[in-house]
Amino acid sequence: MLLQGSLTALITPMRADGSLDEEAFRRFVEWQVAEGTEGLVPVGTTGESPTLSHEEHRRVVEICIEVARGRVPVVAGAGSNSTAEAIALTRHAKEAGADAALVVTPYYNKPTQEGMFLHFSAIADAVDLPVIIYNIPPRSVVDMSPETMGRLARHPNIAGVKDATANLARPLHQRRECGEGFIQLSGEDHTALAFMAAGGHGCISVTSNVAPRLCAEMHRAWREGRLADAMAIQDRLVPVHDALFSETSPGPVKHAASLLGHGTAHCRLPLAPIAPATAARVESALRGAGLLN
């Protein structure tokens, strides 16, 4: 399985009443593929997985796979702080035809390193599907160590990590512990190029929801050794990254997507509508990067 370059952590478009907008999502996924995105990640953090019902969660995964039609890999969000629930979501991802599952470290429960090892081992034992560990300490309150990741990397179904620590020493240590074949994807748009310079393979991106072509071109330029081109795109996108994370994600990126005609800006509670100043900052950043006329 080849996971590299720019993968989009997809928003879940919703109508003004908060219901899923399946047609908007279909159009959005098709647009992502057409713009050159190299992988799709439905129902992660950016897809508001915490506030989707299980039925909605499964539906979003199914639609994404259906529209993608094998043109790019689909890494389905399947995490939970309940191991049994994570196994069920991962099993559904496999049955639906996903190429891999993205499984977050268990939030709220605060498991030890051994608890995390047992959690991911149980999922990988139960479902024959590549698992990408999603390590995001700011949201989950636990941080998987490189040593624990190295233990898990020996399992044939543990394929890689989405690293949202923003610690650029991590990919170096994870490469030593897990081996060169272990897929390392940045979970922080600001660090995408630096992460690849430290041994990473790509980025699961929020910004690529609204700048899919630019993000994909940046990664291709990097792989082709066109470092000046890659850095020029990075410089162009930094104000967009800043704006999209100026309030809790996905509030700003859903507003940005709505400005581009991709659904409404609606996020489910407890995420509030973004502040007017944030909305203005997002619009200014999109215009500055040439993404909005």
Residues annotated as catalytic are 134, 162
H or E stretch including 281?
A: helix 276-288
Spell 253-280 as b/e; 16+ CB within 10 A means b.
Answer: bbbbbbbeebbbbbbeeebeebeeebbe
User: Would you say how long the chain is, in residues?
Assistant: 293
**Residue 214 in contact with residue 260, Cβ under 8 Å?**
no
Tell me if residue 243 falls in helix, strand or coil: helix
CA 71 – CA 51 distance, rounded (Å): 29
Helix axes 83-96 and 113-126, enclosed angle (nearest 10):
30
Can you tell me the distance from the alpha carbon of 201 to that of 179, in angstroms, rounded to the nearest whole number? 13
Q: Tokens 């129902």, residue?
A: 43
Assigned token pair, 162: 């989405």
d(CA 13, CA 25): 6
How many CB atoms sit inside 10 A of residue 96's CB?
Answer: 17
Cβ contact 119:64 at 8 Å: no
Where do the DSSP E strands lie in 144-201?
Answer: 158-163, 183-186
